[in-house]
Structure 1
Amino acid sequence: MRSRIKLVFTACCFAIGALSHAQGDIMAENEKIPGDTYIGPKDQAVKDNLAKWQDYKFGVLIHMGLYSQLGICESWGLAPEDWVTRNGYDDYDSFASDYRGARFSLNPTNLDSEKWAKMFKNAGVKYLIFTSKHHDGFCMYDSKFTDFKITNPNLPNAKNPKPDVLKNVLDASRKEGLSVGIYFSKPDWTSQDFWWKYYPPKDRNPNYDIKTYPERWQNFVKYTQNQLDELTTNYGKVDVLWLDGGWVRPSEKKGRQNLDINMKQIAETARKKQPGLIVVDRWVPGEYEDYLTPERKVLEKPIPVPWESCVTLGNDWGWVPNDKYKSGTEVIQLLTGIVAKGGNLLLGVGPDGKGNFEPKIEQALAEVGKWLDINGEAIYATKPIVPYSEGNLYYTSKGDKTVFGIYLPKANEKEIPAEIIIKNNLKGKLNVMLLDGKTKLSYKNVAGGIAVTIPKSLRAELAKKAGVVIKVVS
């Protein structure tokens, strides 16, 4: 059985991972992201926190759960939908039993939250969001409202000195100066009040008619509210409440259940404990979607509302064996393209079931941090500025007197150009320099900006960089 499980889960991972979260009808409806449905917070404390968050630019989203132990895509193997494959299994129930049974072996004895926090800080990360519970319903924290949790006394992790994984990660991250957030799935595929055992699950939604059984649905609403209340009460200062599962939302559409969990009450209760809390009710347009979250994509052009691209470092959100990871250069260039359009990058990474990150993850993050140590001035606390990007030249700005041109060399580029045109409206004599090495550069005025001369002696070496930042100050 063990060898079959390993083979099957690996196959399932690749089949599901290619599709991932983007399979939802809710996601398809809303991933156009025009920004014209954005309302934004009214609370001044939330506005202030959101403005601070927009300056962070770079965060990480850590997925960890039963799927980390199995090395497969998070939760989706449980979804009885026709795009999901479970190769090697003859029936759904066997798969679901094996998946949930991973709780008896999940034991992250190598999890070093202090080491994690230092790694992310050194990578230039400014905020961290950790998965408290994914759609499968397994809690990575000590919830008082379920036994399906990593702190259950009957599970091996309970014997660890610090069994509450969420608490450990958030506490260590704050000590390193990171802002922290909590990921929480609104659907729960193990709760008897969401997927009732009386009926087989049909899809990602509740498997019973909530109008026929309103008390059962209200039990689930209360359960969700209770869990979110304990997360925003017992886990210290929380800056972002990141809610996934956008199909759980109010709806008047014919053929769709009205899965209202009373976000008004949730937000108000949470903000009494956490003044200024940013609430991200993903893909539910309205007053509880404080910023937009395009997934695995970068917007084609800037939009005048707060947004964050959530993109995986590998192919999957959590850990899977032999995943293919982006290089440090790819992450830097991805981050640059997002920031130039006014967004943040939330980079998805995950440890294995023992709490270890792959060496390739650590290497990529270290490369990003080294680049940001030198060039972070052009990324953090910047604003987009016309023309945003031209070819592989990207723009950011600070105040009215500073423009950054960020040139991203192509993989096969031997030398960067001898002259780079940087569009700007700065007045008077300009100070132009490379951030890397603080080298002063000469320039001449041209229509709409300046032509900056790159010395011949630097061009080949600069072509090896992930990004070359030219700072222009009036």
Structure 2
Amino acid sequence: TYWNSTGFLAWLYNESPVKDTVVVNDRWGSGIPCQHGGFYTCTDHYNPGHLVEHKWENCFTIDKHSWGYIRTSGANDYLTIQEILNQIITTVSTGGNILINVGPTSYGKIAPIFEERLRQMGSWLKVNGEAIYSSIPWKYQNDTINSNVWYTSSKDKQYVYACLLVWSKDTTEIMLGAPISSGSTRVTLLGSDVGPLKWHSIISSGGIIIDVSNIKTYSLASDWAWVFKLENVSGSELITKKRKKYYIDN
């Protein structure tokens, strides 16, 4: 272990003032990552793409090559806002936390390209934050037929959020394979003033098809990644958090 870390952890969890609330990652010894810790980080940019039973975190940096500031970096050396939102959505959908790094200059300044990305994230979360903050994984993470859709759920289990990463030009319908509709299913698009959207069931396999023919993407409050809010859909065996693990409610 590093720096007598086991001794420090014993004090931290048993005697420290924060012993009942503290959480520790898995970076405190050789062979520890992805094996021991209050939450796993495993490696930088860890994103398994599926639900992980133990709590975990995706640590990544907006500069693709460095956690610090490199003054010679070009535009292509930074993650785009689409790439960042892809990481956020897929991580939260599969039960992970997000840690996003920006490297300040030697003067402690945040470079304009980092500022732009942070402001873009803020504007997106202002519209779509309810699908991210205080959400829990749903029964499905990635849609069964539309690989560009990832799901989260509200903690009270009233809503399922279908996060669409790619909206192709001239698309008039969005097909979702995982949600099963009911007579009272209601579908809205966060950031849209169109109101409840028309939809119909996929009779052969379940799922729903959402009519988006009346929506113009250029008029939406969100420019990247779009969130459909689904109410009264089945698949109510939601995955919820209990004692730092996940279980399926019956």
Give the paired residue count: 216
Partner residue of 1:386? 139
Q: Select the structure that is richer in strand.
A: 2
The residue type equivalent to 1:248 in the other structure is Y
Change (3 A) 1:270 1:346: farther
2:48 is equivalent to residue 304 of structure 1: no
Q: Classify the secondary structure of the residue corresponding to 2:79.
A: coil
3-state SS of 1:280 partner: coil
Instruction: Decide which structure has the larger Cα Rg and report it.
Output: 1
Q: Deviations over 1:77-115 (max 9, x none)?
A: xxxxxxxxxxxxxxxxxxxxxxxxxxxxxxxxxxxxxxx
Q: How does 1:75-90 map to 2 (within 5 A)?
A: none
Q: Please tell me the residue identity of whatever aligns with 1:331.
A: I
Is 1:404 matched up with 2:149?
A: no
**Residues 81-120 of structure 1 aligned to structure 2 (within 5 Å):** none
Q: Which is bigger in relative contact order (C-alpha 8 A, separation at least 6)?
A: 1
Match of 1:319?
69
1:421 aligns with 2:171: no
Counterpart amino acid of residue 465 in structure 1:
D
AA in 1 matched with 2:32: V
What's the CA shift string for 1:255-297, capped at 9, x where partnerless?
xxxx665244342367325641112242626996100113213
Q: 225, 231, 240: which is aligned to 1:473? A: 231
Question: How far apart, CA to CA, are the structure 1 residues paired with 2:216 and 2:141?
Answer: 25
After TM superposition, list the pairs within 5 Å mapping 1:321-340 onto structure 2: 321-323=71-73, 324-340=77-93
| Structure 1 residues 454 and 305, CA gap change in structure 2 (3 angstroms) | same
Structure 2 partner of 1:293: 41
Distance 1:432 1:263, change over 3 A: same
Identity of aligned residues (%): 25
Q: 1:366 aligns with which of 111, 119, 131?
A: 119
Contact 1:418 1:454 in 2 (8 A): yes
Q: Would the alpha carbon gap of residues 306 and 273 (structure 1) be closer, same or farther in structure 2, given more than 3 Å must change? A: closer
C-alpha distance in structure 2 between counterparts of 1:380 and 1:429, whole Å: 26
**CA shift for structure 1 position 465:** 2.6
Aligned equivalent of 1:344 = 97
- Structure-2 separation of matches of 1:388 and 1:347: 22
What one-letter code is carried by the residue in structure 2 that aligns with 1:333?
N
SS of 2:136's partner is coil
Q: In 1, distance between residues paired with 2:15 and 2:117? A: 35
String of CA shifts for 1:111-153, please: whole Å, max 9, x gaps. xxxxxxxxxxxxxxxxxxxxxxxxxxxxxxxxxxxxxxxxxxx
Retained in 2: the 8 A contact 1:298–1:309? yes
TM-score of the pair, normalised by structure 2: 0.76
Q: Is the helix fraction higher in 1 or 2?
A: 1
Once superposed, what is the RMSD of the aligned Cα atoms? 2.7
Q: Does 1:451 align with 2:209?
A: yes
- The 2-side partners of 1:471 and 1:266 are apart by 45
Stretch deviating more after TM superposition (415-424 or 340-349)? 415-424
TM-score when scaled to structure 1?
0.42
> Residues 422 and 404 (structure 1 numbering): CA distance in 2 closer, same or farther, change over 3 Å?
farther
**Aligned amino acid, residue 379 of structure 1:** I
Distance in 2 between residues matched to 1:397 and 1:361, nearest whole Å: 30
1:418 and 1:459 in contact (8 A); partners too:
no
Q: Is the 8 A contact 1:351 1:357 kept in 2?
A: yes
Which sections of structure 1, spanning at least 5 residues, go unmatched?
Answer: 1-246, 250-258
Question: Residue type matched to 2:126 in 1?
Answer: D
Q: Quick check: 1:378–1:397 contact (8 Å CA) kept in 2?
A: yes
2:198 equivalent in structure 1: 442
Q: Which residue of 1 aligns with 2:108?
A: 355
Partner amino acid for 2:40?
L
